[in-house]
Amino acid sequence: MTYIDNFRTKSAPEARRVVVQRLNPTVVNFETRTLCNSTCSFCPVSIQNETRQDESMSGSLFEKVCKDLAEKSFSGILSFQLNNEPLIDKNLLKHIETAQTLLPECRKKITTNGIKLTLDFAKNLVDQGISILLVDNYSDSREQKLRLMNIEDELRREYPDLLVKIQYDRSINENLNTRGGRKKVVESYAHPKQATMGNIETSLEDANDKINYPCYRPFSSLTVTSDGSIGLCCYDVYFELNIGNAYGGNVIDTWHNAVADKIRNELLNGNRSFSAVCGSCNAEYLNDFDLKKMGLSKLERERL
């Protein structure tokens, strides 16, 4: 079954239900600090590519968003990263504590490149409330791989309920996709026939192709960055499709405003040309892609 067939039969009905019934997002992504500490060539915000100012989210704004979510009975996944490295935010543990207090039923997730991850830090994260820990190891260093393997083994032993997943075969020179049009895949780091984020095979020739496929991401994802800007997709790095600000009304109401629904309608109909971000993006997302990537079981995905 093709991506289009899958979307029409599985994702489109759920997408319409999200809009009509004003359902909550599945995942809320916080970018509590706009900075990364890696040099991944495919990423528009890696150390050598970053153009944004280094800004951190205030504790009061983070708390306000959590209260908004609690008011709307949000019970999905709180994710403490977007286009940044969460472990370099000195306020991270405090934010997790706040989220655990205000949204105890939500699963809290960290995705990190692992550079700053130690066993003690990982234990602190879990003790504060993190229940999903994903590590994308972009280093080719054998020492780094062994270090992360030891951390993973110890966490699995001490925290059997923790969902921990470390991907050891990532690379700072991956050929993924155009990431919302903000990063062109170039020959110097293209990996022919490497699986893309959309689980299709690609080569340099088609890695930069523009596609007019529907996309489910704005029907499941709510993103908030350090200044309160609200978006619908992690690939909208600079929040060009800004649908509002968390300093305004309830963030869930903003997520369902007319601006957001217009974006969803365009993407539901397979029209990505309405914006520079979506029009230059060739990522493919079905309604359960992100949850599968986290390693959640089918039953766990259905509960969200």
Q: Return d(Cα 75, Cα 90) in angstroms, integer.
A: 26
Cβ–Cβ < 8 Å for 230, 243:
yes
Whether the per-residue pLDDT at 18 is higher than 70: the answer is yes
Query: Cα(69)–Cα(46) distance, rounded to whole angstroms?
Result: 30
d(CA 186, CA 118): 34
pLDDT tens by residue, 93-122: 999 999 999 999 999 999 998 999 999 999
Q: How many domains would you assign to the chain? A: 1
Confidence of residue 298 (pLDDT cuts 50, 70, 90): low
CATH number at residue 63: 3.20.20.70
Instruction: Write the pLDDT tens digit of every residue in 238-265.
Output: 999 999 999 999 999 999 999 999 999 9
Angle, alpha carbons 100-109-111 (nearest 5°):
145
- Look up the domain containing 95 and give its range: 3-303
Q: Place 40 in a pLDDT band, splitting at 50, 70 and 90.
A: confident
The predicted pLDDT at position 162 comes to 94
